[in-house]
């Protein structure tokens, strides 16, 4: 079996980014595959839009490499905060450091192409899409950008662009044809709320109907529930993993509220066409902006477990505490 660790949004503006991850470094490095959402470009180019541009320290790529993150999603609403130059610099830095990226590219074909990682003879394909993004960010046949599944409340329920949904499903089917297991990441939903939007469930179910074996959600900046649909796990939001203050604001108050600091490290054991077993570690972003695992005796541990039970119960998902980890079980 292949072990996958998946975490939430990663935004690191500090000049010593490895310090940000040091308390959970062994857990990340122990995985065969480590995945995160790269929430903003790694660049020294000036930002071109606001109100909260998220340019990451150039040293962030060193942290990703040293922590053994071997793949990131770059399909999000901050990917082009520093324009095309910052976007392309990020892709170049990731390539130079042998870190694969998904959901972004030099053109639409690359942005929508699956990225396959082989570990222990298992081929795991990744795809990523954003449903919340500024105008102009989607890749085209002639322009760099991100892969998207458009949503709009003006669309007929479930408010998803049906053409994009079909294209996404075709992407997943193509990935399934060349890989044993398919993981799909979605940047979706509303922030910061524990409540799902209509489009999240529709897109998640469509992903699994097309062949996805695991669906990972980002963007709400808080935790959301876990659903098991047709035997496949959907984590609607993995919350934040690292989220430093931005250079412009110096401090975003929301980052220091409990909801933004409560998160999980998801661990999945993958085999051909399925997640054999899955659990998560409750984590909390401390006053130094470092995610750290919580002991089961810590009241914050139980608070996160209680929250995830409440959010996941409507889906019939059971969570079982086992020392400092929480197993994910179907109904």
Say if residues 45 and 92 touch (Cβ distance below 8 Å): no
Of 227, 244, 237, 287, the C-alpha closest to 263 is: 237
Proportion of the chain above pLDDT 90, given as a percent: 86
Task: Tally DSSP H helices, then E strands, for the chain.
Answer: 9, 18
pLDDT at 254: 58
Q: Could you report the per-residue pLDDT of 112-126, keeping only the tens digit for each?
A: 999 999 999 999 999
The pLDDT of residue 153 is above 90: no
Choose which CATH entry (3.50.30.60, 3.60.21.10, 3.40.50.300, 1.10.3720.10) describes domain 2-329.
3.60.21.10
The mean pLDDT value for 143-152 works out to 97
Report the alpha-carbon distance of residue 182 to residue 178 in Å, rounded: 10
Instruction: Please give the helix or strand (H or E) that residue 328 lies within, else none.
Output: strand 325-329
If you average pLDDT over every residue of the chain, what do you get?
A: 94
Strands 181-187 and 214-218 come out as parallel
- The answer to which of 92-96, 103-107, 155-159 has the lowest mean pLDDT is 155-159
Residue 152 phi/psi, 5-degree rounding, is -160, 130
**178 or 260, higher pLDDT:** 178
pTM: 0.96
Q: Could you report the per-residue pLDDT of 225-273, keeping only the tens digit for each?
A: 999 999 999 999 999 999 987 766 555 555 567 788 999 999 999 999 9
Give Rg (Cα) of the chain: 18
Report the alpha-carbon distance of residue 224 to residue 313 in Å, rounded: 11
pLDDT at 154: 81
């Amino acid at each position: 079996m292949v072990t996958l660790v998946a975490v939430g949004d990663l935004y690191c503006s500090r000049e010593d980014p490895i310090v940000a991850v040091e308390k959970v470094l062994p857990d990340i490095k122990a995985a065969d595959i480590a995945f995160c959402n790269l929430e903003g470009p790694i660049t020294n180019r000036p930002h071109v839009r606001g109100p909260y541009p998220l340019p990451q320290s150039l040293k962030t790529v060193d942290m990703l490499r040293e922590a053994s993150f071997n793949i990131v999603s770059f399909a999000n609403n901050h990917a082009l905060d520093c324009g095309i130059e910052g976007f392309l610099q990020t892709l170049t830095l990731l390539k130079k450091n042998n870190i694969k990226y998904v959901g972004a590219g030099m053109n639409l074909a690359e942005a929508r192409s699956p990225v396959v990682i082989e570990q222990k003879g298992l081929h795991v394909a990744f795809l990523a899409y954003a449903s919340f993004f500024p105008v102009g960010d989607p890749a085209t046949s002639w322009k760099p950008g991100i892969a998207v599944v458009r949503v709009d409340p003006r669309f007929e329920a479930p408010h998803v662009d049906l053409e994009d949904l079909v294209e996404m499903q075709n992407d997943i089917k193509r990935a399934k044809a060349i890989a044993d297991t398919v993981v799909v990441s979605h940047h979706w939903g509303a922030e910061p709320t524990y409540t799902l939007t209509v489009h999240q469930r529709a897109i998640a179910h469509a992903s699994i109907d097309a062949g996805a074996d695991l669906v990972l959600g980002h963007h709400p900046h808080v935790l959301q529930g876990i659903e098991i649909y047709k035997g496949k796990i959907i984590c609607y939001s993995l919350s934040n993993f690292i989220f430093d203050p931005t250079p412009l604001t110096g401090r975003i108050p929301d980052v220091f509220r409990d909801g933004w600091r409560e998160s999980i490290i998801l661990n999945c054991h993958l085999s051909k066409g399925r997640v054999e077993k899955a659990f998560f570690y409750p984590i909390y972003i401390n006053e130094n902006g470092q995610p750290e695992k919580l002991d089961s005796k810590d009241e914050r541990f139980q608070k996160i477990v209680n929250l995830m039970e409440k959010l996941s119960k409507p889906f019939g998902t059971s969570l079982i505490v086992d020392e400092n980890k929480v197993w994910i079980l179907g109904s």
